[in-house]
Chains A and B, each alone.
Chain A
Amino acid sequence: MFDVIVIGGGVIGGLTLRELSKYNLNCALVEAQNDVAIGQSRANSGIVHAGYDAKEGSLKAKFNVLGNKMMPRVAKELGVKYRNNGSLVVAFTNEDLVTLQTLKARGETNGVEGLTILSKDELRAKEPNISDNALGALYAPTGGIICPYELTIASIGNAMDNGAKLYTNFKVSEIVKNQDGFTVVSEKGQALDCKVIINASGLSCDKIANMVGDYSFKMGARKGEYILLDKENSNFVSHTLFFTPTKAGKGILVTQTVDNNILLGPTSTEQADGSTVTSESGLAFVIQKVKEMVKNPPLFNTITSFAGVRAYCDRHDFIIEKSSACENFINLAGIESPGLTSAPAIAEYVVKELIGSLLPLEEKADFNPERAPDYFFKNLTNEEKTQLILKNPLYGKIVCRCEEITEGEIVRAIHENPPARDLDAVKRRTRASMGRCQGGFCQPRIVEILARELGVDMTEVTKSGEGSELVWGKTK
């Protein structure tokens, strides 16, 4: 019997699980896919928003500002890359300039510090490649960037290191209410008992809530398409550049990523089924908008394009509450932007306030908030590298040449919490094959390593779980 089961291995479920693991509670996270961080947390802009966007008094505003303040510490504890690069909301029309004033006032009401309006010249001084048509900008010095899947993986790994359990390929098909709480049943017939459920299943939040008779909200989804540029162009912009928001949303952004790529996007199209198929028109739109924002974007150095899904609910604010249908079922639904930023604050609130009202919270004496610090071998000094190689020679073998990732890191990702079981899982943990050749050289080698470490044949190694096998039997 678990005290708490979290449904959904995204950043909300992940950070909530980690928060739960601080207490003497028996907790588990169930994830439908072969790995965690595979839905919304796999592909979004990775922005730590300052908090000027959300409407005054909304949950979005409250948790955004709190989460923004918490993020640097959480990132440091988890060994996740975070950079406080600052955001710029750029105005291109006189109407935009008026909107910037509104945003500034709203941000100040929300408690965002340091907001200033920049003139054309001040903007240009900060971002030399900005379009000549830019008239000014709202500068938010507390804006930042983080890698969303890295944060998710690290928080789940840290929770597991502190005793939480992870069940992957556990697609919830039924939730049975009983005397002590619930039995959560998977499509494959696994059953887990628990006292409390936290529903953090992203796009599936309504379907999961329906299973306990909660029909109080409906989910929808938008697709966002992105283009990623080579890290060679990392200095093309240094801040996160937004267009001035309109009714349609925040629009396309241009930003550095914490891994020094340049990220362009996202589009925003209704996509109820959550598909992440990219389209010619979507990618063309990204390119068109980016050319409006900056001069001569180095699009020739594109290394990949992809799409992510953004779930929203029909209430258009976060749902962070006990279900009206049963009180030991907590909905964390509709956590759209600024959900990533808000995640640490939501997790803390949910556990302290909501779980605290249902279960006794007794702090774990031996909780370790930190993950191993040597996460990226390439960031170590030569001496540290050599020391590590002498302990484990696999660190002396570079597998991914573009991102300089060693066999030691890949093997560790396969065995460390949460364990990588497929090629994409290795990629998200180590960055192997995320560089400019996109795995052209190293993919067969990583498949070999996965097969060896998992004790299976290469034909059983997948890209992203069952049905995505990479090779189909021996040659003649």
Chain B
Amino acid sequence: MGENKMKLNYDIVVIGGGPAGLAAAISAYDNGARDILVIEREKRLGGILRQCIHNGFGLTRFKESLSGPEYSARFIEELKKREIDVALETTVLSLTQDKKVQVINEQGVFTISAKAVILAMGCRERSRGALNIPGSRPAGIYSAGTAQKYINLNGYMPGKRVVILGSGDIGLIMARRMTLEGAKVLAVSEIMPYSSGLKRNIVQCLNDFDIPLYLSHTITEIRGDKRVTGVTISQVDENKRPIKGTEKHFECDTILFSVGLIPENEITKSANIPLSPRTRGAVVYQNRETLVDGIFACGNTIQVHDLVDFVSEESEIAGKAAATYILEGAKEKDSVATINGNNIGYVLPHRIDKNQKGHVKLFFRVTSTFRNCVINVVSGGEVIASKKRNIAVPGEMETLILTQDKIALLSDDITVELKEGV
């Protein structure tokens, strides 16, 4: 690996050195591409995994439970074995459709010309601000990921008495982490009637530490002038409006927000690459190519995954496709769209190119909790794939395989839909 080495032109430029970028770069190399650069804004590779020191990564891929840094170390080692350049502490400022990547680092501002680009910028947390939560704006309000960074990378405690809004996985992980560090986590408040986090995290991070989870509750007031002094949570009705008389008051010095992740796509937008309003990431074909030839996207920048193992898997698809693009050039496409039907929030890939070989794994999320349901993939009035589920929840990504023979016969857009009570 050529660490902190950067030329001004490459066959493939990978934007982001987190789990998606690492897997994509390795896969591109292993599929025949040679002239590859990974651009990372931080001092080290690994992305968000650097601050995820808890276990549970890699169960699917490596059949063992690794910490975030251990999981990424496996990929960094693989990267180092290959001749792939890495530019650290380098930030991409913008991208154009003809694949000029403008970057900035301590040497100056440069434009790198690429033949193919892989977008692997990951995602960011939704902030308190986005939710219009009333109250004051004192110190002590953090997104769960920011608190995680303070604790795990800086070695500092952001507070001692904590209320967490949102039961996303990072919030759950931080409930446990802060408890282990001696803080008192008073409550986790979730506006939905179900948690958006993984079941195992509810059990291991809340139940095991007797931390109450208030479903259908939201924060209705934040108190404190200089530093947070308290918070009020209230139960909400079916329209998510707070119900008067259900207020619960907590005295606390810290509030963590874990209220969702949003794909990071500033660079995608700078190149005017079409985005999906559903996923808020680039529209992609099954090989993770965007609607701009030679620009690919993978990982949490196109859809927020539950497990990093799936990020790696998806990114290998993009890496392989980018290598194929370099070696064989752009190819004609003949595609249909995928549509999220009843009770389905989104479907990815957004388009299926019939000229591409192989099965396609459809990723999607359901919009609510459903029991005894069936999920159908329908095209031209015909069910072409189907699965039954005893329970389906929004917090867990669903997949369905569409076989190559079915894809070849597609003449119409396909719709994924869920039917209840079967």
Contacts and interface: CB of A to CB of B under 8 A. Distances in A.
Same complex for A and B? Answer yes
A469 B124 contact: no
Interface residues of B, number: 52
B151 A475 contact: yes
Interface in A384-404: 385-386, 389-390, 393, 396-398, 401-402, 404
Contacts of A437: 124-125, 127
Contacts of A469: 139, 227
Nearest to A287: B132
Nearest to A225: B134
B160 interface: yes
B107 A389 contact: yes
Interface stretch (B141-149, B197-205, B392-400): B141-149
A279 B221 CA distance: 8
A44 B78 CA distance: 54
Interface stretch (A23-31, A347-355, A458-466): A458-466
Contact of B157 (A228, A402, A462, A474): A474
Interface in B170-212: 180-182
Contacts of B145: 440
A476 B157 CA distance: 9
Interface in A292-316: 302-306
B157 A473 contact: yes
B42 to A, nearest CB: 10
Q: Which of A277, A283, A390, A448 has the most CB of B within 10 A?
A: A277
B104 A283 contact: no
Contact of A386 (B109, B128, B129, B139): B109
Contact of B226 (A227, A303, A438, A464): A464
B224 to A, nearest CB: 9
Contact of A398 (B104, B125, B138, B154): B104
29 contacts: A227-B132, A280-B242, A302-B132, A303-B129, A304-B129, A305-B134, A385-B108, A385-B109, A386-B108, A396-B105, A396-B106, A398-B91, A401-B266, A436-B127, A437-B124, A437-B127, A440-B146, A444-B146, A444-B154, A458-B156, A459-B156, A463-B139, A463-B226, A465-B226, A471-B157, A472-B158, A474-B156, A475-B151, A475-B181
B150 A303 contact: no
Contacts of A448: 154
Interface of B: 41, 89, 91, 93, 102, 104-109, 124-125, 127-132, 134-140, 142-143, 145-146, 149-151, 153-160, 180-182, 220, 225-227, 242, 253, 266, 269
A437 B143 CA distance: 10
Contacts of B127: 303-304, 436-440
A456 B185 CA distance: 29
Contacts of A396: 89, 104-108
A471 to B, nearest CB: 4
Nearest to A441: B124
Contacts of A458: 154, 156
Contacts of B138: 463, 468
Contacts of A283: 132, 134
A443 B129 CA distance: 15
A246 to B, nearest CB: 26
